[in-house]
Amino acid sequence: MKFIGIIPARYASTRFPAKPLAMLGGKPVIQRVYEQVKSVMDDVFVATDDERILSVVESFGGKAIMTREDHKSGTDRCFEAYQKCGIEADVVINIQGDEPFIQPSQIQTLQRCFDEVSTQIATLVKPFTPADGLETLQNPNSPKVVVSDDWRALYFSRSVIPYLRGIDQKEWLLRHTFYKHIGLYAYRTDTLGEITRLPQSTLEKAESLEQLRWLDNGYIIRVGTTDVETIGIDTPDDLKKAEEFLKMKD
């Protein structure tokens, strides 16, 4: 199968403007993301809405595509970039532009999800561990996923799912494996075109989770698992944590 990697990267961000250009260990965040993906994929593009990001990507030898400013999601930006890239692929992998520690093994796990011909969309989860603690499990900014026995996503929620009836919450992480959603997606190219035309669904609006729109419309989301912990950068404080994490790795 032919895979292509696309990294959506906006300049404007409410919590952290110019985030893709923030320096992390002497390199822009977007460069670190790009290099991680490029280590395992031949065709990788940054999809941006800003000339400054385009210029930086090209300065380190990367490929970038200018896209519209008015996209409502990274998925929409990915599709426009795919249409413009001039490469025909079977699957587009959407890598978050604020995940500088994304691992090649995680991308390879996503790719293997498409060995199953029924897979239309794929994403990753990471099991919560008792060491994570109840507060981490209950964090609404860390969506949870319920999966079927054959590793299809059944539902995504900011709430803790499933609810363990009759069990003290302090014991939940000892009595059940909960799954944290890792925001990495892959789509068959025809599916990508279809889902960008779908209107927002009721569940999506309720949880503010785009992937619920896809489930609402009957798409099969295959789930791969990873034990690798990554650090996403949403705020300047996250950048400081990423710097510390980078020093520990070195």
Mean pLDDT of 206-229: 96
Mean pLDDT of 70-83: 94
Residue 141: pLDDT band by 50, 70, 90 thresholds? confident
Which range is least confidently modeled, 8-17, 137-146, 196-205? 8-17
Give me the residues paired with residue 8 across strands.
47
Mean pLDDT of 73-81: 94
Backbone angles phi, psi at 62, to 5 degrees: -85, 170
**Structural domains of the chain ordered from first start:** 1-98 (3.90.550.10), 103-229 (3.90.550.10)
More confidently predicted of 50 and 15? 50
pLDDT at 127: 97
Which range is least confidently modeled, 21-35, 158-172, 226-240? 226-240
pLDDT at 40: 95
d(CA 236, CA 214): 32
pLDDT at 250: 65
d(CA 32, CA 94): 16
